[in-house]
Chains A and B, each alone.
Chain A
Amino acid sequence: MASASKGFRWSVVVFVAVTLIYTGAAYVYVTPPPRESLFRLYVLGEEQMFEHYFPDENATVKPGVVLRWYVGVTNLMGSVQCVAVKAKLGNATTQSPNGADGTPAPVPALIELRRVLLNNETWEIPLAWKVTEVRQDGDVVSLVLDMNGVEVEPIVHAISGDNFRVMFELWTLTPGSGDMSLGWIDRSSGERRATWLQVWFNVTAT
C-alpha cells in the first residue's frame, strides 16, 4: 500500500515536470528567435557581371556613349518590404551616405525607382545612361545626363571633369513610420543599417 502511494506521488511529480517541459518547448516553438535582417545591394556591368562597367575598362566617359549597368537588390529581411533605389551624382568632395546614422548623400537623386519586394526576392534594375552634354566653365565641368531615357541636370561639378561618382542608395519604407529612409532597421539589434555603392568615373568633352 505504501509502495502504491509512493508510485502515485512520483507520478504527480512526473506529470508536473512533463507538463512544464512541454509548455516550455511549445513556447519556444511558437516564438521563433529574431533573425538577422538585411538587404543585398550590388551593381553589375553590361554583361551582368562584376566587371565591364565601362567600354574597354576605361573609366573616362565620353559624351554619347551609353553605359549599361544593372542594379540589384535582394530582400533578406524575412518579410515583404517596400524599397527604393536612388541614384545620385557626386564628386570627390560630396559627403558620402552615412550608414551609421542613416544620413543620405546631400545631393538630389537623379533617378528613384521603387518596388515592393517579397522575402528572398531579387530585383534587378537595368540602368542605361549616358552623358549627353559636358558644360565647361574654366576648369569646372558640369554634366547633363540621360538616365533610362530621362534627361537630368545634376548640380554637382568637378574640376577638369575628374572624379565624378554615381552613388546608389537603398531606402526602405518602415511600416508605420510613413516615410522612406536610408537603410533599414535590423530586427535582431533594433539598430539602423544602411548599404550604398559608388562607381567612380571621369568625363572628357571629346
Chain B
Amino acid sequence: MSRLAEAILASLVLLSACSAAVGSSALNPRVMGTNGPPIDEAEQRLRLAFAALNAADELGVSETEVSVLANRLNNALDLLSDARVFEEIGNGSAASEYASRSGAISDNVREDAEDFGERTSEALFSKRVAIFALAPVVGLIGAVVFYLAYRGRRRPSMEKILRMGIRRKQEGG
C-alpha cells in the first residue's frame, strides 16, 4: 500500500507543478494614462483600449462580448477621425470635444475588456486546474481496472492448477 501512496504523492507533485505553470501563463496587461494634446491623447487611449480588447480576445472572452466592444471601439475611431477633420479645418473646440468623447469611449472599452479578460482568465484557470486534477483520478481508475482484470484473468488458471493431480504414466500404453 505504501507504494501506491508514493505513486499518488508523485502525481500530486506533478499536478501542482502543472497548475503553477498554467497560472503563470494567464496574462493580464495593465495600462497607464498619458498626457498630451487632445487628439494625441485620445489616440493613445484608443491604442490602450485595443491592446486590452486584443488581450481579452486572446484569453477567450466570448465572441459576443468582443464584438460589442469592437463596435464601441469603432465608434471611438470614427469620432477620432472626425476630430482630425475638425482640426484640419481649424475648429479646435470641436476637435477637442470629439477627441474627448472618443477617449471616454476608449477608456470604457478598456475597463470592460480588462474585466471580461480577468473573469475569463479566472474561469480558464479553474478549468485547467480541474483538467490537470483529473490526472491522478484517471490514473487510479486505470490501475483499478487493470488490477481487477488481472485478478479475473489469473483466477481460472490458478484454479486449473489447484485441480491438477499426480498420475503415473502407464507402461506400454
- A residues in contact (CB < 8 Å) with B: 3-4, 7-12, 14-19, 22-23, 26-27, 29-30, 79-82, 114-119, 173, 175-176, 178
Residue on A nearest B113 in the bound complex, by CB: A80
- The reply to whether B77 and A19 form a contact with Cβ atoms under 8 Å apart is no
Query: Is B70 at the interface (CB under 8 A from chain A)?
Result: yes
Residue on A nearest B146 in the bound complex, by CB: A14
Cβ 8 A contact of A16, one of B54, B63, B139, B154: B139
Cβ 8 A contact of B139, one of A4, A10, A15, A116: A15
From DSSP, what is the main secondary structure of chain B's interface residues?
helix
Beyond the given pairs A23-B132, A80-B66, A118-B70, 9 more chain A to chain B contacts, judged by CB atoms under 8 angstroms and listed by A's residue number, are: A4-B151, A8-B4, A18-B141, A18-B143, A22-B134, A26-B132, A80-B50, A119-B57, A176-B51
- The reply to whether B18 and A23 form a contact with Cβ atoms under 8 Å apart is yes
* Complex Cα gap A36–B142 (Å): 38
Query: Is B140 at the interface (CB under 8 A from chain A)?
Result: yes
A27-B18 CB under 8 A given contacts A11-B150, A173-B47: yes
- The reply to whether B143 and A116 form a contact with Cβ atoms under 8 Å apart is no
Enumerate chain A residues within 8 angstroms of B50, measured Cβ to Cβ.
Answer: 80, 82, 116, 173, 175
- The reply to whether A7 and B47 form a contact with Cβ atoms under 8 Å apart is no
Q: Which 5 A-B pairs have the closest CB atoms?
A: A19-B139, A18-B142, A15-B143, A11-B147, A175-B51
